[in-house]
């Protein structure tokens, strides 16, 4: 006999878990079915190098989750199930080839002092931006938290016009359409400060010259200055473990090792799912797929021509390689020991270099100088490693999912099986140049290629950790397709959620929570 639930959810990433918990709290009986052996998707933690060294598989920064409307609603409950954060007062910095550095800190006037060392004028500009952030934040966070419906956007536009006036609203609209380079070069003089902030655009597929990306360097810079960062106590998986426990405590079911083979339907209505072992799981009210758009198509088959074309043509960002390092000690940064006190150290020397790296990866080439995001979580959370030891979380951006060649002309391999080691060595050579002696401190390492990221989590197509480009043609009302930014599909009772749905990638659980509130009526 088939199992029956009010809602059946495919995948146990943080968005589907957030949706399941909210629906459970509203009285729905939910069943979550995850293809992998453990929950979490990209938000998980494991001992991938040596015993006692806990590495975040993909996501490390949980600031969006800790500050989200979902956590505001369910934080106390999750806390009872073990969810715990570690506050970070020095969220990010950049090391530069000339031996200088810049960073954003919540500690006293550290940020201003670092900026003044490079450019007194830029320090004054930063101070002005930080002072005005409280006035600008409601507009930006209001937009990013809005439902992508014409009525909701019209209301948002009306509130913005009333608050800012015509001129201010037009300036705000221009900012939203600007590229990172356009805003950074208009705002700051020193190339290192531009690069420090521009590196954040690369986290969300916004290379320096991509329109619509200016808000992300601005938001990450201002939020880092105002709030710092939050990481998970013991690992990023603290959030997914707590959500799973909360769902189970409310009577829901979360099953791992249970891949979905197809979505069951009667005419134009989804009725449940069939698992790869042949079991049928029926849903009386909703089937929620936490998949990529192409993954959804594989489960549904044909639905409606326009929607199916949009899912088939959905564009993914370039991929990422992860390098997990068990360390005897933190790197000795050439720019100074102060960099040991930051959660992230970006090795992204200029806007031009970031633009070149992005274009190379888009063309299928292994970049000659990839961008590195070096995470130092054990500097804030010693539980991540044995006493006196550390883990480094090294994100290599960008890396093509399929290799067409090598921009530097050194790596002949065009498959990741053979290209992984030499490309990782290229990345580690960049780290070594900024922190001499780092290689000698490595106790063990684990390289995770774009191919392995996708094999572990099919939503990370080609190693794309943001589940789809956020460029303007695939964002806001168009994420994942016009008319479906609320997660709806042409099949009644079938919904899509996850990073491919508005408001997109990150750990804020926005897509899952917005959908669950819509389904539950609040």
As a whole-number percent, the residues of the chain with pLDDT over 90 amount to 92
Q: How confident is the model at residue 162 (pLDDT cuts 50, 70, 90)?
A: confident
Cα–Cα distance measured from residue 64 to residue 22, given in angstroms and rounded to the nearest whole number: 18
Whether residues 307 and 334 share a domain: the answer is: no
Q: How confident is the model at residue 235 (pLDDT cuts 50, 70, 90)?
A: very high
Whether residues 221 and 265 share a domain: the answer is: no
**CATH number, residue 281:** 3.50.50.60
- 50 in any annotated domain: no
| Mean pLDDT (the chain, rounded) | 96
Domain count across the chain = 3
- 461 in any annotated domain: no
Whether residues 361 and 483 share a domain: the answer is: no
Hey, what are 176's tokens?
């939203």
**Is 431 in contact with 348 (CB distance < 8 Å)?**
no
Hey, what are 11's tokens?
């995948």
Whether residues 207 and 134 share a domain: the answer is: yes
pLDDT in tens, 473-490: 999 999 999 999 999 999
Cα–Cα distance measured from residue 68 to residue 205, given in angstroms and rounded to the nearest whole number: 22
Q: How confident is the model at residue 326 (pLDDT cuts 50, 70, 90)?
A: very high
In Å, how far from its chain's centre is CA 474?
16
209 pLDDT higher than 80: yes
Domain boundary among 227, 259, 294: 227
191 pLDDT higher than 80: yes
Cα–Cα distance measured from residue 306 to residue 288, given in angstroms and rounded to the nearest whole number: 20
Q: How confident is the model at residue 217 (pLDDT cuts 50, 70, 90)?
A: very high
Phi then psi for residue 372, to 5 deg, are -115, 135
Tokens 């909703």 identify what position? 286
Whether residues 363 and 280 share a domain: the answer is: no
Whether residues 196 and 294 share a domain: the answer is: no
- 462 in any annotated domain: no
Nearest C-alpha neighbor of 477 from the set 466, 464, 486 = 486
**Is 305 in contact with 481 (CB distance < 8 Å)?**
no
150 pLDDT higher than 80: no
Average of per-residue pLDDT across 232-251: 98
56 pLDDT higher than 90: yes
Burial label, 296 (beta-carbon count in 10 A; 0-12, 13-18, 19+): buried
Tokens 């960008």 identify what position? 398
- 123 in any annotated domain: yes
3-state SS of the chain: helix, strand, coil percent to 5? 45, 20, 35
- 49 in any annotated domain: no
Average of per-residue pLDDT across 295-315: 97
286 to 251, 261, 269, 382, 503: CA distances (angstroms): 17, 17, 10, 42, 21
DSSP, res 68? S
- 463 in any annotated domain: no
Whether residues 167 and 266 share a domain: the answer is: no
- 353 in any annotated domain: yes
Whether residues 437 and 323 share a domain: the answer is: yes
Beta bridge pairs of residue 87: 230
Whether residues 332 and 433 share a domain: the answer is: yes
Q: What is the pLDDT of residue 156?
A: 75
pLDDT in tens, 361-399: 999 999 999 999 999 999 999 999 999 999 999 999 999
**Is 507 in contact with 41 (CB distance < 8 Å)?**
no
Domain boundary among 209, 227, 245: 227
- 272 in any annotated domain: yes
- Domain extent at residue 202: 92-227
Nearest C-alpha neighbor of 329 from the set 438, 445, 446 = 438
Whether residues 81 and 138 share a domain: the answer is: no
Cα–Cα distance measured from residue 153 to residue 151, given in angstroms and rounded to the nearest whole number: 5
Q: What angle do CA 358, 61, 289 make, to 5 degrees?
A: 80
Whether residues 81 and 105 share a domain: the answer is: no
Average of per-residue pLDDT across 246-250: 98
Domain boundary among 196, 227, 258: 227
Whether residues 181 and 120 share a domain: the answer is: yes
241 to 84, 90, 100, 113, 228: CA distances (angstroms): 11, 26, 40, 40, 24
120 pLDDT higher than 90: yes
Average of per-residue pLDDT across 313-329: 97
């Amino acid at each position: 006999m088939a199992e029956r639930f009010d809602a059946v959810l495919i995948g146990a990433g943080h968005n589907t878990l957030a949706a399941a918990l909210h629906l459970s709290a509203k009285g729905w009986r939910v069943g979550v079915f995850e293809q992998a052996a453990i929950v979490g998707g990209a938000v998980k933690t494991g001992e991938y190098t040596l015993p006692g060294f806990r590495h975040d598989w993909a996501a490390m920064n949980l600031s969006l989750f800790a500050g989200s409307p979902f956590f505001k609603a369910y934080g106390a409950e999750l806390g009872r199930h073990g969810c715990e954060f570690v506050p970070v007062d020095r969220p990010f910095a950049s090391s530069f080839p000339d031996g200088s550095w810049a960073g954003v800190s919540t500690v006293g006037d550290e940020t201003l002092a670092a900026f003044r060392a490079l450019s007194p004028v830029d320090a004054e500009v930063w101070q002005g931006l930080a002072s005005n952030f409280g006035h600008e934040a409601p507009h930006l966070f209001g937009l990013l938290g809005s439902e992508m419906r014409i009525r909701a956007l019209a209301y948002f536009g009306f509130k913005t016009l009333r608050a800012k006036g015509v001129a201010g609203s037009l300036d705000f609209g221009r900012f939203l359409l600007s590229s990172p380079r356009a805003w950074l070069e208009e705002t700051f003089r020193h190339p290192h400060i531009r690069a420090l902030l521009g590196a954040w655009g690369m986290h969300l597929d916004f290379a320096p010259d991509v329109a619509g990306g200016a808000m992300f360097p601005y938001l990450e810079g201002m939020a880092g200055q105002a709030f710092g960062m939050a990481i998970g106590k013991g690992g990023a998986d603290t959030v997914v473990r707590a959500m799973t426990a909360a769902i189970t405590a409310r009577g829901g079911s979360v099953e791992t090792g249970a891949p979905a083979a197809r979505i069951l339907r009667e005419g134009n209505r989804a009725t449940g799912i069939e698992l790869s072992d042949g079991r049928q799981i029926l849903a009386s009210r909703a089937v929620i797929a936490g998949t990529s758009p192409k993954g959804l198509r594989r489960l549904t088959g044909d639905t409606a021509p326009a929607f199916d074309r949009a899912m088939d043509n959905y564009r993914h960002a370039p991929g990422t390689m992860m390098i997990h390092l068990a360390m005897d000690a933190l790197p000795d940064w050439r720019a100074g020991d102060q960099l040991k006190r930051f959660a992230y150290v970006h090795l992204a020397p200029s806007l031009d270099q970031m633009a070149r790296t992005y274009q190379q990866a888009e063309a299928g080439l292994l970049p000659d100088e990839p961008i590195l995001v070096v995470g130092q979580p054990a500097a804030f959370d010693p539980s991540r490693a044995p006493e006196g030891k550390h883990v480094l979380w090294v994100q290599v951006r960008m890396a093509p999912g399929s290799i067409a060649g090598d921009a530097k002309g050194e790596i002949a391999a065009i498959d990741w099986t053979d290209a992984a080691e030499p490309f990782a060595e290229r990345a580690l050579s960049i780290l070594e140049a900024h922190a001499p002696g780092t290689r000698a401190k490595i106790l063990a390492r684990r390289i995770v290629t774009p191919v392995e990221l996708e094999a572990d989590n099919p939503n990370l197509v080609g190693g794309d950790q943001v589940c789809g480009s956020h460029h303007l043609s695939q964002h806001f009302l168009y994420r994942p397709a016009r008319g479906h930014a609320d997660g709806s599909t042409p099949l009644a009772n079938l919904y899509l959620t996850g990073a491919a749905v508005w408001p997109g990638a990150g750990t804020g659980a926005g897509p899952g929570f917005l959908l669950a509130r819509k389904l539950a009526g609040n």
